[in-house]
Amino acid sequence: MIKFENVTKKYDDFTALENFDLEIPTGCAYGLLGTNGAGKSTLLRILSGVYKADAGKVTIDGENVYDNASVKQKLLLISDETSQFNGMTLLQMKKFYKTFYTNFSDETFERLNTIVNLPVNKKLGGFSKGMKRQAAVICGISAKTDYLFLDEAFDGLDPSMRSEIKKMIIDAMCDNNMTVVTSSHNLHEIEEYCDTVGLLHNGKMIFNKDLGDLKGNIHKVQCSFEKEPSKEDFPELEILLIEEKNGLTNIIAKGSADETLQKIKVKNPKFCDLIPLSLEEIFIYEMEALNYDRTKLL
Amino acid sequence: MTERSSCKSFFKNYLIYRIKAQQMNLILCCIMNILALPLFVISQKKGYSNQPSDFYFIGRILSVISGFTLIILAVYGAVLSFEYYNKKNLTDTVGSLPLSYKQRFLGDLLAGYIANVAPVIPCGLISAVIFAGAQNKFESFCIEKDFSGTVFSTFRLALCMAFSLFIALTFAYLFTVFVSSACGKHFHSVMFSIFGIFALSGAAAGIAGCFAAGMLGANTGEYMNRAAAFVPPLGSLIDLSKGIRFLCGDFELFGSKPMTDVGIGDIFAAANVLNIVYFVILGVGIVFGAFYLGKRRKPEKTGSSFAVKPVFYVISSLMSAAAVFLMIVMLVKSNSGFGKRYITAAVAGVIMCVVSSVIYLPKLKELPRCILCSFAAIGVSVGLAALLNATGSFGYRYLPDAENIEYLKINDSYTITDKEDIKKYIEKHNEILRDKRSFLIHGYFYSLEYRTSNGKITKLSYGESLMSEGNPIQKMEKIEECLAGYGKYFFESFSDGFDDWSCSIIDENGTYDIPEQNKAELIAVLREEAEEKYDPDAEKYARVEFRRMNYGTKSFFIGKNLERTIAFLGDMNGTIEKDPNKLVLMIDYIISKKVDGQHSINSRCMQIRVRNKDMDKVLVKELIGLLKNTNEGSTDYGVVLGDNEWAFEVFYKNFSDSTRQYYIPRENSKRVLEIMTELALEDLE
């Protein structure tokens, strides 16, 4: 269990995190979203014990992380930069991680590398950005830590490789009950395997929800009425958006699918149909409901 | 237990990993040490029998370069060891590793030390053993003044060099670790470590110099060297004119003996308890400081110039202070005016402030604080220097009552017990103390040691004064000469007004003025002394001291053994006629027993030529014509027989050494000696 309690982190005059609270249960795949400078990397660095919080408490399994070697043994951070390994070959990189992580599995490493097929004796400096990231991820997964933190882990990966890496992470989570926290500014990247997402903005968590709940609790209904309806015509519904386009009315509302349809049908639409929403759309509408300008959030 | 074991194991693994990361440094450091140590040993040699002086000079230059290279290597190695202080990506990787800060710090500290400093020990031992093994070859290569030539001595000399280098590199490394802990960029870590090293030594030496010059009116060089030695790594490097002097003797920090008196290669002098305790405390202090700074620094500051800004302010202030103090010491030497001295020193401090600020490039809002700090340091430094210079206080003005003085020892050599003489010295000495002037900084200095009847010893040292000042210390200089053999004549000069001081004796130690009225008597004394010492044996010739004398623009050769010089030259002429080969052997013998440094008898005799422009140029030209490669010699009009029996060395008009040498063809040696005799006789007339 990861716990942030009233955490504040400042860089001189800039506040990266302010009175931040968060709980991530064990085994969760948590997606951390936000624009550049939102505080995602800071959060991950504090979580990994690289940075020390100016105020508040950060614990993993009830223990403080900063300067705590035994807790750090349970976690591994794959940073957004991998150039520090440029001088190493993949084998040396593996050896490096194996030095510090007692559970490192050679077998897993070999298995994962057969998937990505990276040259083991070539210096990482000669790898492409995507290959370096693959190397970091396969080493990170092979370390078999309880917690894996990935900072912009999918940057520079092509779609097929992105999918492979995601699959690797999902497998690792299933095999080891690993808790994964992934930061990204792209919702699509984490949609497939994260079960909870949080949205950071200006050092504050403005949104933190289970993805299943989120998807199940917001729906888009396309319908047609004799007369253009307004929000006030549906007082029982928590409508996030209502708009008319080419004679069709789109209603985005919170609540279960059946309940939403039922409440709309009461108004005798000419037709009424439930349309699937992408996670991005759900996010946008949620944010707009919270009076945030979505263009500034993602 | 398991957790503790695994922690230890992680530490060990981390240490190995970090050492491996610096394996190139390790290799480079070993190579540099293997190359540098022999150079250091050789550069300590005082003279060479079969090598041209160029070699000696190049040896010193190379030793200076390799010494600094090793220090730079240690500095850079320290920065590399804590690379994650300067690289953001490494900060993330290293910071998240399952290691506590303490383990990480110790791992990096030890790994860097093993890669960049420790090789000096095995390399030093190897060097020492090689030197000991190659004893015979080494000895024929060069002759060391203080080197007895035994296997143990060579071994010890090399070992001492290694030990001293070890101290210097250790502190260069530790100091850089300290500075790096406060920096956020490679460039700033390296630059401010080097600046800091120089500023520390500079400030220590500068303060000591101002203290010595201002308060004691003493030989500043001695105090500066000793003060600088307290702040390694530069220590004795501060005196670059002498080359790299990683002499253990120079590390006798708490000794009462002047550093120059401490024997070369005396490892036991360096390894005394006080020195070791001092260095250990200093080293541990720096390590703790670095540990604290590293803990205090915010990892997110990686990439910015300084993560712990106060360290910048301290280094910048030190740089300004060092510039101020050193400039004042330099200006004291040039005898500039009070106002000019302090204004120039303050400007030097401001320049340093600008330099450090330009390198740091602070944000605009930080600039006033940077300027304020440096200006405060400049103000305090100038104020302190002025205070030292103006007051001359702090208890160094006390001299014992002449009545209670058991004896007075000058320069640890000459002892005066006569009460009347002691009284005169005390009077003159008090005059110096009252005068409170600043004196020259040259290495030649005088010490006066008073021992009172209750056993208490008061010892004060003074530097060579500016001749133009007519300072009483100038008169004190003559005391030494007085006691060296011509005492009473110099002593009389104490009471005169120096108006008639147009005569001087010049020898390798400098110029000694002689009062007009004492000239004739002095010559008589010299002749008498020469007579006493006269011995036809060649070895005795070699031990004879020579003096030259200037009177107005005219130069005289009035060596204590003038007659013997003539006799000796005549003797040699006779020898050549009998057996030309014997002469070679004779000169060779004299040179190998050379006791008075740079020149043999022959060279001293010929030095007259340099000074006297009225000498017989025809003879000089003929002499030059008898030499090979004489083009340059003929333009200089000065030819001096050098250390080598077949070598002539040119001395320029300003008496500076020339590295050019001229070899006497064997067939011309007889005529060369005839001309030398003729010139000497002409001089006598």
Is A11's Cβ below 8 Å from some Cβ in B?
yes
CA distance A96 to B614: 82
pLDDT digits (tens, 9 = 90+) for B291-348: 999 998 988 888 888 888 889 999 999 999 999 988 887 776 555 566 777 888 889 9
Measured in angstroms, the CA of A275 and the nearest CA of chain B are apart by 44
Residue A182 confidence class, pLDDT cut points 50, 70, 90: very high
Taking an 8 Å cut-off on Cβ atoms, the answer to whether A100 and B97 are in contact is yes
Is A79's Cβ below 8 Å from some Cβ in B?
yes
User: Out of B13, B96, B299, whose CB is closest to A72?
Assistant: B96
Pick the residue of B13, B93, B298 with the most A CBs within 10 A to test the interface with A by mutation: B93
pLDDT of residue B38: 73
Mean pLDDT of the residues in chain B:
63
CA distance A100 to B413: 67
Which of B130-139, B185-194, B430-439 shows the lowest per-residue confidence on average (mean pLDDT)?
B430-439
Which of B242-251, B356-365, B402-411, B449-458 shows the lowest per-residue confidence on average (mean pLDDT)?
B242-251
pLDDT digits (tens, 9 = 90+) for B633-674: 333 333 333 333 333 443 333 333 333 344 455 566 666 666
Q: What residues does A89 pair with on adjacent strands?
A: A123
B498-527: buried (b, 16+ CB within 10 Å) or exposed (e) per residue?
eeebebbbbeeeeebbbbeebbeebbebbb
Taking an 8 Å cut-off on Cβ atoms, the answer to whether B14 and A81 are in contact is no
Integer-rounded Cα radius of gyration of chain A: 22
pLDDT of residue B289: 95
Which one has a higher pLDDT value, A76 or B534? Answer: A76
Residue B20 confidence class, pLDDT cut points 50, 70, 90: confident
Mean pLDDT, residues A245-256: 86
Contact A45, B92 (CB under 8 A): yes
Which one has a higher pLDDT value, A238 or B266? Answer: A238
Which one has a higher pLDDT value, A206 or B105? Answer: B105
Percentage of chain B beyond pLDDT 70 is 43
Cβ contacts of B98 on chain A, cutoff 8 Å: 69-70, 72-73, 100-101
pLDDT of residue B99: 87
- Residue position matching structure tokens 């059946």: A258
- Helices and strands counted in chain A (H then E): 11, 14
Which one has a higher pLDDT value, A43 or B133? Answer: A43
pLDDT of residue A256: 84
Pick the residue of B4, B5, B97, B366 with the most A CBs within 10 A to test the interface with A by mutation: B97
- Tell me: ipTM over 0.95: no
Mean pLDDT, residues B215-236: 63
Taking an 8 Å cut-off on Cβ atoms, the answer to whether B98 and A67 are in contact is no
Which one has a higher pLDDT value, A265 or A189? Answer: A265
Taking an 8 Å cut-off on Cβ atoms, the answer to whether B97 and A51 are in contact is no
Q: Which residue of A has its CA nearest to B102?
A: A67
In this chain, the answer to whether the domains covering A2-213 and A218-297 adopt an identical fold is no
Residue pairs spanning A and B at CB distance below 8 A: 72
Which one has a higher pLDDT value, B575 or B83? Answer: B83
pLDDT digits (tens, 9 = 90+) for B328-337: 877 765 555 6
Domain boundaries, chain A: 2-213, 218-297
Most confident segment among A44-58, A189-203, A241-255, B569-583: A44-58
Domain A218-297 has CATH 3.40.50: no
Mean pLDDT, residues A131-140: 90
Taking an 8 Å cut-off on Cβ atoms, the answer to whether A77 and B93 are in contact is yes
CA distance A116 to B452: 90
Which of A31-40, A44-53, B216-225 shows the lowest per-residue confidence on average (mean pLDDT)?
B216-225
CA distance B120 to B37: 9
pLDDT of residue A147: 94
Q: Report the 10 Å Cβ neighbour count for B604.
A: 24
Taking an 8 Å cut-off on Cβ atoms, the answer to whether B101 and A67 are in contact is yes
Say which CATH architecture domain A2-213 belongs to: 3-Layer(aba) Sandwich (3.40)
Is A75's Cβ below 8 Å from some Cβ in B?
yes
Residue B432 confidence class, pLDDT cut points 50, 70, 90: low
User: Out of B10, B96, B98, whose CB is closest to A50?
Assistant: B96
**Does B399 have pLDDT greater than 60?**
yes
pLDDT of residue B42: 64
Domain boundaries, chain B: 1-184+263-300, 186-238+308-393, 402-471, 563-684
Taking an 8 Å cut-off on Cβ atoms, the answer to whether B93 and A68 are in contact is no
Pick the residue of B1, B300, B365, B366 with the most A CBs within 10 A to test the interface with A by mutation: B300
Mean pLDDT, residues A95-111: 90
Contact B42, B158 (CB under 8 A): no
CA dist list (Å): B80 to B104, B108, B117, B167: 14, 9, 13, 20
Is A48's Cβ below 8 Å from some Cβ in B?
yes
pLDDT of residue B265: 37
User: Out of A45, A73, A100, whose CB is closest to B92?
Assistant: A45
Percentage of chain A beyond pLDDT 90 is 29
Contact B89, B1 (CB under 8 A): no
